[in-house]
Amino acid sequence: MREDPRKNTRRPQGDGNIQRENDRPASGRSPRGFVLAPSGGYPAVAMPIEIHVASRLSRKRCPAALLSRVARHVAASEGFRHGELSIAVVGAAAMTRLHRETLGISEATDVLTFDLGTDARCGRLEAEIVVCADVARSQARQVGLGRSKRAPARHAQLVRTELALYVTHGILHLAGYDDHSRRRYCEMHTRENVLLEELGLGSVFGPLAR
């Protein structure tokens, strides 16, 4: 990106943490309502938005191709037509430092979104989204799969879905969504479910009572 968010005096979009505690799992699903997607491709969306995915983590921990596809689909669905988006995949230590520098909280969080000139009214997306691979792995373990050697592929898919959720969440904040009230919380997470289902990743949140 042309601007380093760490030098930006503005605060990240949202509060740096996806609200989950009141979500109710859907019937027949694992906790938090995860539905594993069947194998297959993702919708191809052609649009003139530059998307960059960067990480110092291993390729296994940073599914760059998936995150790029997710970002393109969500951005197009929310009416963004041009601009530039950088996605940084980091570990817990780097996220903790950034969270402390931007919001004064000394712990890792799932996603931080930096608006670098986005204008949803004219379809321009200019931002950086930072997602934490370690938080995604931790959340996948909480779903109940843990590090079971019997289902490593399933666990890995849940981690990828978590990271896809974080990117989706960040772009929705840039599009004007927030989760500060119960009504808007439900609207935002319902939209996240729809977008992830369109991508073949399945719903993340169970039924949301308004």
Q: Does residue 194 fall inside a structural domain?
A: yes
In a domain? residue 30? no
Assess whether pLDDT exceeds 50 at residue 5: no
Place of tokens 């921990």: 61
Residue 76 lies in a domain: yes
Quick one: what percent of the chain has pLDDT higher than 90?
59
Is beta strand 49-55 parallel, antiparallel or unpaired with respect to 82-90? Answer: parallel
Q: Say which CATH number the domain at 98 has.
A: 3.40.390.30
pLDDT, tens only, 14-70: 656 676 544 433 333 322 322 223 334 444 444 489 999 999 888 777 899 999 999
- What's the pLDDT score for residue 194? 96
Residue of higher predicted confidence among 105 and 60: 105
> What is the pTM assigned to this prediction?
0.78
Across residues 89-95, what is the average pLDDT? 96
Residue 142: the pLDDT is 83
Residues 85 and 98: beta-carbon distance below 8 Å: no
Highest mean pLDDT out of 2-6, 102-106, 179-183? 102-106
| 133 falls within a domain | yes
Domain count, the chain: 1
Summarised one tens digit per residue, pLDDT across range 122-145 is: 999 999 999 999 999 999 888 755
* pLDDT cut 70: percent of the chain above it: 72
**Structural domain containing residue 119:** 5-14+37-198
Q: How far apart are the first and last CA of the chain?
A: 38
pLDDT value of position 34: 27
Q: Does residue 191 form part of some domain? A: yes
pLDDT of residue 167: 98
Q: Is the pLDDT of residue 9 over 60?
A: no
Tell me which residue has tokens 């840039």. 174
